[in-house]
Structure 1
């Protein structure tokens, strides 16, 4: 490689190293505690210090406190560092592989830190402490906590500890820790400030359980190999502050220590020159802080400094964001009247000590309120009644949903002091005529206004009302029926009253006064026949008057008004009628207005009658047409022994019953198990419209045996009544199919003889063939 090329690469590497080095802080570990406190930390003529001391790493030339300077990549350009390892190890960048700490024999913890944090096992503590006297009422300084415990899941489990401990010098009282989260007593540490920690596995594959974020807004982030300090993570810039009594001596102890594991180091970086005195007016009184000053109030800013020892200048920022001195404001306090940013400069006479206090003040807008009145009805006319004060809740606050009602009070003093509120404002009884009570309304910041409510008793009167009567028109005549109050009652009540009134109804006068248990518009009386309800007329929140109204329900349940069915024989007419004595009659289809009508057509009829109260009742008639039946034939199943049957065939619209002998009738036209014989079938109408024609029916069957022995009984095999049937032919065969006898309507039967010879006892077969094609086959026995 050429010499020029080697020189060029050397130049590039030097530049790269210089750039990396420029990003890291530098630490001077040789500074004394006095130098660190009096020359680095404090730069104010308003603070006197003494008795400065420090302690830390006992290893020679490896002091654990020192001063530092930093470049642009660190929030503080310079300051003090206190560490649980040699302070020079705070120099960045962060290298994870080297982040594990080491145990230093003889380097112990701090008992004051243990007590302040509630622990008992701190180790390797580094301390800077001193006495100071402030000439004003507040001191503060800025710091950052950094730790190598911001890796893996360590913040879920443990943290090194640190504290800024203060108390009055020489006092035996407990220290107060200033290294806490704003507006809390929670000490800042890796376990109290960290993002969400995910569950991960360590180098051995063991799961390290994570945890949710805690106060993540105070965590600045994780560091890397380009960070200016050698710690895994750090907080944002924090501020430690406390009120003090001017000219009183205090002792401040700044301490950081390792936990019992001594595994991972931590440090506290304190900004140079940030330890200053301030005049503390408290936090800004702003809307953002939820504590602005109420409209109309005067807010006094008090330095609490002596007017003889100090001179004062007060300032307010103008529209250009410049502080302008307030003319004539030279006292130790100033009464703020308007919103703005205010500052005071307090100069200790005869010194260069100037203490500054700043605060932003915002005033809330004026709460708009309205005095109003309530007009309530008096159910007993004694001048005292029950008011619902909450009915004007929106009126007194001008319908502003952002304003909250905070109670009602009998006196202005109670409303202003927010004491002795009316316990039940929905049911408040006035104490005097035209009494005034007070409503307290507040905005979201607790600022209040006190509008007045005048309680008036209504003197207007609604005239007495006529009863509202109607008929009980449901199926059960129990005197209970529903009223449509809006259409059946309200028009009567409003007659002659001023327009704009709203009518509501209640069961009792007290309910009407207090507007409780309002009745629904469709109301069914709960007391049979007669019930009094109360109508309340109101105009908005004001009551006009309350009046009783009687609701009457008339019942009407005449006897014998059940639905009825009657039968009309074809070609005749019948009379439909109900009792006499009703006020009116109205038959359907305008058929009449008397108690009876004549009808000759089947169909549905009804009559509606009314009583003296005009209540209706309707009776329904169903007229059904009927007539005698006409028997047109019969389906006969015969030659079947016990299975012989007859089904009568008929026409007609009536309701019929049937008989084969005119004596025994049945509803079914089919008869079963019919014996052979001649039958005279008939049907008759159950509705009284008469019998049908008579229809003769023959049921035939053949004998199952005969005994041709000459005794005159059953000597012939013959089918009874077959001569009434159409032409037929009967052929008789023996078991071998030989034709033995053939007969027709002129035959008298078979006597068991073939060719002059008596046939033996045996089974014989026959075929019966009618001319209409019907064919019956069977067999019978010849017995000798």
Structure 2
């Protein structure tokens, strides 16, 4: 069985060679070519370095040479195809010529490490990538640069990009460098930009669908290959760059190594661009729009090489005459470059850098003037009020930061922490403002602090009247209309006045009072006016606000009556400063001859006003036109007096007792004289006679002289009235008119028994009264 396996493997190798030969015959001119006869010295000296500006030695190349005569490293060229490099060195995990395109998935997926089962991995790459490698190819050498910078371009390609392999396998490449000093360790330069992650098929790939894995650093993957690809790998990275600073004249050991992860299948390769190790001068990264140099600053670009070399400096491709030193100080925008001619090597190297400067930050020096509330020369400034002036209203600039010295501003030391509440130091009247642009560049401006010493004349009290219904000495002021004109009298134009409850608030400009201000201390209150000139305080002065109350007695609205055909006098107290009636009168009283609405406005010595209203109504004597009498009702007898008139009346049935209601109740039977009297004294009506009738509820005909006959009092006033009396059985017992003295309780001169009897009173005008009474013996 062992012999069969060996035989099969050799047969596989023969088949491979046959396929390769056939492919070589039909290879397209667009594919790369590979010469695997170059030894390590040729690959390093003639391809990678190819310059007398660096010393190389101790060349070693290792890998595999199966099939026999085929090395896993070689020199590749590009005959005008799409491959990015013109030529260079290829290191492969298979024989190097196998890298020649196009990509043949049928071939690469069945062939392993070309029959060399002893082809091992590399311990340094294992440690760098954290994998267990096999089929490693190594190119290493010693390198002594004359320049300060080392870089090379490369492309990593792999068949591991086939199917889901990059999710599990990490074929990779490392550029290892270390100083040629015992005990030093390697540093890997083949990293994903901006990270410490090594370049490998697992660390750079697109998303793998169908149970694969998500994309990893996909921006560095250049795409999959097909049958037109110039190389025989399923995918590759973009052109990558590895670089590091080195010390000119120092010896380094360099090791370039590539290997498969764990098994021999799905090979990989790295293509190193020819001339990658040519001498380079690193002048640093370009300083362009995202990282320009600040206006006014100088930038030293330095080759960091020996002063014994010859230097030429250029700006925009024009030589800067006289500049022959290893470094050059830049002061403005340009494309700068340097040519270094080394000796005794007599080789040259170049470096370039593009530099842009930011525009100048335009700031304005300014001043802030603040008032001193107690004259000690120390007050509180709100520095932020100068921010926009300093920045010329440029919103793109940073917030302003203030410092007490220019040195502090330049060093960003001890900034003023509360610029809106800064207490000045008389010995230090100038502050410094630091402002930066979006690139962090700074510029500085001066802020002068000035204590205002303007003399403002004392102000007269400003008074108003308490014009609301509650005379409590609290009322609102229109400060702009009532106070500001007085404050600004005699001052320069353009001033603005602000008002505060106390001078401290005025200095701090906190809790400014509203223009419509209602005093909080009754009758008199002190507030403070701050006169502002732009952002500056011109002065702070006290203002006395006075609220005068005016509440005269007996000034409620009043109603008065005017008797018809008469006059009345309307009046208020004397002693006020002025009077004004709505009739035009200007004294404390007027004579009124007609009813209506009248008012008088009085003014006191403070100019406060009060208005009293009078309602004058007409009045006169009433005329009683009748009475509605409800009689024959016992205790419920009532009289309602009927009348006409325009006055306010009261009523009486006896001329002595008067009541407001014309209705009288509980009236005893009798003869009454009704009166209506005007309450305003405008007269008494003529008397009106009223009779209230009722019948006795019983009588006692016993001859004692009391109630011996049943009769209705005052019935004689109704001559047509007829009374008929019945017993309980309805028998008519007697009938008589108003001239009769009444009934004596007899029928045919015989006394009737004690009993209840009924009567029917017919007034003869349609009115009939019925009732009953008792005869008592």
Question: Any idea what SS the aligned residue of 2:44 has?
Answer: helix
Query: Does residue 1:614 correspond to 2:623, yes or no?
Result: no
Matches within 5 A, 1:175-574: 175-185=186-196, 187-188=198-199, 202=210, 216=219, 218=220, 220-221=222-223, 223-231=225-233, 233-258=235-260, 267-286=269-288, 288-295=289-296, 297-308=297-308, 310-317=309-316, 323-404=317-398, 407-432=401-426, 435-558=429-552
**CA offset digits 1:9-56 (Å, max 9, x no partner):** xxxxxxxx9999333333445544444333322222122223334455
Give the one of 60, 72, 77 matched to 1:69. Answer: 77
Structure 1 stretch displaced more, 362-371 or 501-510: 362-371
CA distance change for structure 1 residues 349 and 586 in 2, over 3 Å: closer, same or farther?
same
Question: Any idea what SS the aligned residue of 2:401 has?
Answer: strand
Q: Distance in 2 between matches of 1:191 and 1:565?
A: 107
Query: Does residue 1:37 correspond to 2:27, yes or no?
Result: no
How far the C-alpha of 1:472 sits from its partner, in A, is 2.9
Q: Distance in 2 between matches of 1:545 and 1:512?
A: 10
TM-score (norm 1): 0.68
Structure 1 stretch displaced more, 508-517 or 363-372: 363-372
Matches within 5 A, 1:671-682: none
How far the C-alpha of 1:455 sits from its partner, in A, is 2.7
Q: Is the 8 A contact 1:144 1:237 kept in 2?
A: yes
Give the one of 134, 139, 142 matched to 1:128. Answer: 139
Q: Distance in 2 between matches of 1:101 and 1:476?
A: 107
Q: Distance in 1 between matches of 2:623 and 2:233?
A: 118
Residue number in structure 2 paired with 1:677 = none
How far the C-alpha of 1:138 sits from its partner, in A, is 0.6
Give the one of 132, 143, 155 matched to 1:144. Answer: 155
Structure 1 stretch displaced more, 485-494 or 79-88: 79-88
Q: Is the 8 A contact 1:48 1:132 kept in 2?
A: yes
Q: Is the 8 A contact 2:293 2:299 kept in 1?
A: no
How far the C-alpha of 1:420 sits from its partner, in A, is 2.7
How far the C-alpha of 1:492 sits from its partner, in A, is 0.9
Residue number in structure 2 paired with 1:21 = 28
Q: Is the 8 A contact 2:310 2:342 kept in 1?
A: yes
How far the C-alpha of 1:247 sits from its partner, in A, is 1.4
Larger radius of gyration: 2
**Matched pairs, number:** 662
How far the C-alpha of 1:240 sits from its partner, in A, is 1.6
CA distance change for structure 1 residues 345 and 665 in 2, over 3 Å: closer, same or farther?
same
Structure 1: stretches of 5+ with no match in the other structure: 1-16, 318-322, 633-649, 657-662, 668-682, 695-706, 726-744, 750-784
Question: Any idea what SS the aligned residue of 1:37 has?
Answer: helix
Q: Distance in 1 between matches of 2:171 and 2:302?
A: 40
Q: Distance in 1 between matches of 2:678 and 2:62?
A: 129
Question: Any idea what SS the aligned residue of 1:392 has?
Answer: helix
Question: Any idea what SS the aligned residue of 1:278 has?
Answer: coil
Residue number in structure 1 paired with 2:669 = none
**CA offset digits 1:387-444 (Å, max 9, x no partner):** 3333333444444444445533333332333323333333333333573332333343
CA distance change for structure 1 residues 498 and 123 in 2, over 3 Å: closer, same or farther?
farther
How far the C-alpha of 1:561 sits from its partner, in A, is 5.7
CA distance change for structure 1 residues 370 and 567 in 2, over 3 Å: closer, same or farther?
same
Q: Is the 8 A contact 1:461 1:544 kept in 2?
A: no
**CA offset digits 1:342-381 (Å, max 9, x no partner):** 2222222122321222122333444444444333322222
Structure 1 stretch displaced more, 225-234 or 356-365: 225-234
TM-score (norm 2): 0.69
Structure 1 stretch displaced more, 421-430 or 554-563: 554-563
Query: Does residue 1:51 correspond to 2:54, yes or no?
Result: no
Structure 1 stretch displaced more, 367-376 or 456-465: 367-376
Residue number in structure 2 paired with 1:81 = 90
Q: Distance in 2 between matches of 1:684 and 1:153?
A: 122
Q: Distance in 2 between matches of 1:612 and 1:172?
A: 108
Question: Any idea what SS the aligned residue of 1:415 has?
Answer: helix
Q: Distance in 1 between matches of 2:196 and 2:258?
A: 18
Q: Is the 8 A contact 2:476 2:516 kept in 1?
A: yes
**CA offset digits 1:498-543 (Å, max 9, x no partner):** 1222222222222322333333333333333332222222322333
Q: Distance in 2 between matches of 1:87 and 1:180?
A: 24
Q: Distance in 2 between matches of 1:540 and 1:364?
A: 33
Structure 2: stretches of 5+ with no match in the other structure: 1-23, 626-642, 650-657, 663-675, 690-726, 733-754, 771-777
How far the C-alpha of 1:153 sits from its partner, in A, is 8.9
Q: CA RMSD in A?
A: 5.5
Q: Is the 8 A contact 1:143 1:271 kept in 2?
A: yes
Residue number in structure 2 paired with 1:704 = none
